[in-house]
Amino acid sequence: MADVRHRLVLGGARSGKSRHAQVLAEATGPRRTYLATAEARDEEMAARIALHQADRGEGWQTLEAPLEMPDALGTVAESDVVLVDCLTLWLTNVMLGDRDVDTETEALVAALAAARQPVILVSNEVGLGLVPETPLGRAFRDAQGRLNQRMAQEVEEVRFVAAGLPLVLKG
């Protein structure tokens, strides 16, 4: 990642995007920070989180920031790379917390610009499927699309992962 400061890794559910981002981070250096946005609100999510933790293994520091992710990004000190997994859950937390999505997005842009180390952002591409049935679902889909577009503007490289295979869209 010598000439690439920040990356965005997009993909659908179970596309391999998180694994791909983890491989990129592990190739960057031995001191890695995983900035987690998920909350274990039920047994299934707790199991998913445990699986991700076990898969990471040694060499990772974990910061949990389900809502205050931009602030947490600014606190990472001794790390070669930061992996944010994922923007989709962070956006969910922002919306369910009745926060202004545009304000929070701009806070993330500022935190990304100020980051002292490379940052890899993971996010779901949710606009390729069916139109959600509910107003909240449609609002989320639209907000996620706008967030992904904004992050793609701010990073040097964007990759789309499908079936575990990455495709470079930018950079």
Catalytic residues: 52
Of 144, 72, 60, 159, the residue nearest 108 (C-alpha):
72
Degrees (nearest 5) of the Cα angle 67, 70, 73? 115
**Joined tokens for residue 123:** 């996010």
Prior bond of 86 cis (ω within 30°) = yes
Q: Where are the alpha helices (DSSP H) in 37-133?
A: 43-56, 69-73, 87-96, 101-114
Find out whether 8 and 121 touch, Cβ atoms under 8 Å.
Answer: yes
What DSSP state is assigned to residue 132? P
**Residues with Cβ within 8 Å of residue 106, at least 6 apart in sequence:** none
**Distance (Å, rounded) from C-alpha 171 to C-alpha 159?**
9
